[in-house]
Amino acid sequence: MKLDPALRDQILSAVPSLRAFAISLSGNVDRADDLVQETMLRALANIHSFQPGTNMNAWLFTILRNLFRSEYRKRKREVEDTDGTYAEQLKSHPEQLGRIEFEEFRHALAQLPDEQREALILVGASGFSYEEAATICGCAVGTIKSRVNRARNRLARLLAVDNVDEFGPDTATRAVLAGNDR
Amino acid sequence: MTEKKPDKSHVTQMHTAPSAEKAHTGLNREIQVKIGQQLRAMYDGIVQEGVPDRFAELLSKLDKPSEDEGKAE
């Protein structure tokens, strides 16, 4: 197939954010990259249904989100067990965060229900408006708002508890978890 | 009726000690700011990795007329 070069560029430039979304959602780099690849294949196969002039990023995020929710949800338990692989697989982890802090945040994020996690990422990191996030998730704007709020509160509780335990017996548990890469 | 009003407000005050609530809200706000920073730091760190080769290759592979299409034309 021959793709309009403008569309091709738009898809390619969306890849870094699609990966960030997929990795943040699934917590696993390999699985996320498969998800991004599948998203690109679906996008190319359905490129005729993309309306030029509309938001390509939002369109691609919708495809990825739906793929994640349909296929990857089944493997949710498995994904959550892969604690530790994520940080190791990433070429770099955020410089402004300590490793333990980064791991704790990731771990807390993974404990959120899918719908809260996706809403928080779309609004809090991907930079979509509540309206755009609602379109991507196929729900009402108010629903997105309440999911984002619940996600933030849940994370705050999880991370507040972690801080209290910083030097407690949990540190040993965490070290074991961090060393377990499967 | 008028007697009950002060009673009610008294009860409410006892349940939500204003200073404690204020401290909790402050702490919560601090944590919220941190959560936002951590989320973006994690996300942006991945974005900065750019486009891995496999995706650029995939796109250029798919973005070519296949052999069959070439023959048909």
Which pLDDT tens digit goes with each residue over A119-144? 999 999 999 999 999 999 999 999 99
Going by C-beta distance under 8 Å and a sequence separation of 6 or more, which residues neighbour residue A160? B27, B31
Token couple for A181: 């890469």
Cβ of B38 under 8 Å from any chain A Cβ? yes
**Per mean pLDDT, which of A80-84, A123-127, B10-14 is the most reliable?**
A123-127
User: What's the mean per-residue pLDDT of chain A?
Assistant: 82
Cα gap A9→A89, rounded to integer Å: 27
Task: Report the run of H or E that residue A118 belongs to, with start and end.
Answer: helix A114-124
Residue A151 confidence (pLDDT) above 70: yes
Write down the pLDDT at residue A60. 98
- DSSP of chain B, one letter per residue? -TTHHHHHHHHHHHHS-HHHHHHHHHHHHHHHHHHHHHHHHHHHHHHTT---HHHHHHHHHHTS--HHHHHH-
| B47: chain A residues, CB-CB within 8 Å | 16-17, 19-20
Residue B63 confidence (pLDDT) above 90: no
Write down the pLDDT at residue A162. 55
The proportion of chain A whose per-residue pLDDT surpasses 90, expressed as a percent, equals 60
- Please give the interface size between A and B, counted as residue pairs whose CB atoms are below 8 Å apart: 105
| A152: chain B residues, CB-CB within 8 Å | 32, 35
Cβ of B24 under 8 Å from any chain A Cβ? no
Confidence of residue B69 (pLDDT cuts 50, 70, 90): very low
Smallest Cα distance from A105 to chain B, Å = 7
Single pTM value for the model = 0.74
Query: Which has more pLDDT, A80 or A100?
Result: A100
Each residue's pLDDT tens digit, A19-37 = 999 999 999 899 999 999 9
Residue B32 confidence (pLDDT) above 60: yes
Cα gap B50→B3, rounded to integer Å: 69
In order of start, what are the domains of chain A with their CATH numbers?
7-75 (1.10.1740.10), 83-182 (1.10.10.10)
Cβ of B29 under 8 Å from any chain A Cβ? no
Residue of B39, B55, B65 lying closest to A125 (CB–CB) = B39
Confidence of residue B20 (pLDDT cuts 50, 70, 90): low
Query: Are the Cβ atoms of B37 and A36 closer than 8 angstroms?
Result: no
Confidence of residue B48 (pLDDT cuts 50, 70, 90): very high
Write down the pLDDT at residue A18. 98
Smallest Cα distance from B49 to chain A, Å = 7
Residue A4 confidence (pLDDT) above 80: yes
Lowest pLDDT segment from A38-42, A76-80, B35-39: A76-80
For B61-67, what is the mean pLDDT? Answer: 69
B-interface mutation test, from A12, A15, A89, A164, most B Cβ less than 10 A away: A15
| A155: chain B residues, CB-CB within 8 Å | 35
